[in-house]
Amino acid sequence: MPELPDVEVFRRYLGSTALHKKIKKSHLLDDRLLENAGHQQVVRRLNGNRFQSTDRHGKYLFVHLKDGWTLVLHFGMTGFLKYYKYKEDASEHAKLIIDFANGYHLSYDNQRRLGRIDLTESIGDFVKEQDLGPDVMSDDFDQERFLELLKGRRGTIKGALMNQSVMAGVGNIYSDEALFQAGIYPGRPVEKVKSAEQKKLFRTLRRVLSIAIDKQVDPSRFPRGYLLPNRKPGADCPRCGGKIRKATISGRSAYYCARHQRK
DNA sequence: AATATTGTTCAGCA
DNA sequence: GTGCTGAACAATAT
C-alpha cells in the first residue's frame, strides 16, 4: 500500500518524532530485507548516531545520519513506522527497532518480506542505481517533463504511471485515482492519450497526491467524488452514476468507471 | 480452500 | 539493446 503519499506521511511522522535524538542502540531483527548493507554495518552505523534530516524519492524514504551516511527504507506493501514509549507497545512485525536515549523507540514494521533496509552515502547514486525516474511531487517535475516522459512509450497509460523508472512514486491505488478523475480508461495505450488529456492527467495526478498527503492518506477524509473510498466492483461511480468495474491492466487490478473513463 | 492483494524484480518476448 | 508483460515472491484476509 505505501505509495508516494503514504511514504511522505511516514517521512513527516519520523521528522516530528525521532529527529535529532541520540540513538542508544539499534536492533535489526530480520536480515532478509538487506540488499547492500550487512547486518553489522547497519547496527554499528546507527548506534550512538542521530537522525539529522529526511528526504524522499518516490516510495523510498531516506534518513540522513549525523555522520553523513543515510538510512534507506522501502515499505513494500505492508511497511510502516511507529514511535512509542513503552516496550509492550512494540509493533508485531518489527524488523528494525531504534532505542533512543530519551527512552522512546522507533520501529520499522513490515509484516511481509517485500521491503528494504539499506545504507547509502548518496541519494543521487542510490536513485541512479535503482534506475528511478523523477519524483512525481518534486518541484522540478513539471508538465513539460511529464509529457516528455510519456512520449514514444508503448503500453498502457496506467503502466506508464506505475513504472518507477519513468516517474517515481505512483502505484496501483493512486494511478487508478488519477485516471478516474482525469476521465481516462487505465488500459488506454499511451499514444492514444491526447496531449490535452495528458496535461489534465498531470494536473490531476499532482492534485490527488497532494490532497492524499494533506488528508494523511485517510480515504474517509478525501473530498467528494474520489474513487478510493469506494474502490470495489459494482460500486456506483461518485462522479457520473456509472458502475465501477475491475480489470487486469499492466499486471494489476485496475478499478475504473465504465461510463466516464473514455477508452 | 482457492483467490486477491500490494510493489519490485526478472525471465521472456516483440 | 529496449521496453513491455506477466509470473513470482510473502503472508494474510476473505
Residue A227 CA neighbour count, 13 Å, CB half: 29
pLDDT at A146: 93
pLDDT at A24: 96
Examine the pLDDT at A1 and tell me if it is beyond 80. Answer: no
Q: What is the mean pLDDT of residues A85-107?
A: 91
Question: What secondary structure does DSSP assign to chain A, as a single string?
Answer: ---HHHHHHHHHHHHHHTTTPBEEEEEE--GGGBSSS-HHHHHHHHTT-BEEEEEEETTEEEEEETTS-EEEEE-TTTEEEEEESSGGG--TTEEEEEEETTS-EEEEEESSS--EEEEES-HHHHHHHTT---BTTSTT--HHHHHHHHTT--SBHHHHHH-TTTSBS--HHHHHHHHHHHTB-TTSBGGGS-HHHHHHHHHHHHHHHHHHHHTTT-GGGSPTT-SGGG-STTPBPTTTS-BEEEEEETTEEEEEETTTSB-
The protein residue nearest C9 (Cα–C1') is: A114
Q: Residues A113-160: pLDDT tens digits?
A: 788 999 999 999 899 888 899 999 999 899 999 999 998 888 899 999
The reply to whether A250 has its C-beta less than 7 Å from any atom of strand C is yes
The reply to whether A232 has its C-beta less than 7 Å from any atom of strand C is no
Nucleotide nearest to A153 (CA to C1'): C3
Examine the pLDDT at A207 and tell me if it is beyond 90. Answer: yes
Examine the pLDDT at A181 and tell me if it is beyond 90. Answer: yes
pLDDT at A229: 87
Nucleotides of C under 7 A from a protein CB: 3-12
Return the higher-pLDDT residue of A112 and A249.
A249
Band of residue A235 on the pLDDT scale cut at 50, 70, 90: confident
Nucleotides of B under 7 A from a protein CB: 4-9
User: What cell numbers appear for A23 in the block?
Assistant: 540513538
pLDDT at A212: 93
Q: pLDDT over 70 for what percent of chain A?
A: 100
Q: Please report, rounded to whole angstroms, the spatial distance between the CA atom of protein residue A226 and the C1' atom of nucleotide B4.
A: 23
pLDDT at A230: 84
What's the Cα-to-Cα distance from A65 to each of A46, A108, A126, A214, rounded to whole Å?
8, 16, 16, 27
Q: Please report, rounded to whole angstroms, the spatial distance between the CA atom of protein residue A75 and the C1' atom of nucleotide B10.
A: 20
pLDDT at A4: 93
Q: What does pTM read for this prediction?
A: 0.94
Nucleotide nearest to A162 (CA to C1'): B7
pLDDT at A152: 86
User: What cell numbers appear for A24 in the block?
Assistant: 542508544
pLDDT at A128: 87
Q: Please report, rounded to whole angstroms, the spatial distance between the CA atom of protein residue A250 and the C1' atom of nucleotide C5.
A: 7
Average pLDDT value for chain A: 91
Q: Which of residues 127-156 of A touch strand C (CB under 7 A)?
A: 153-156
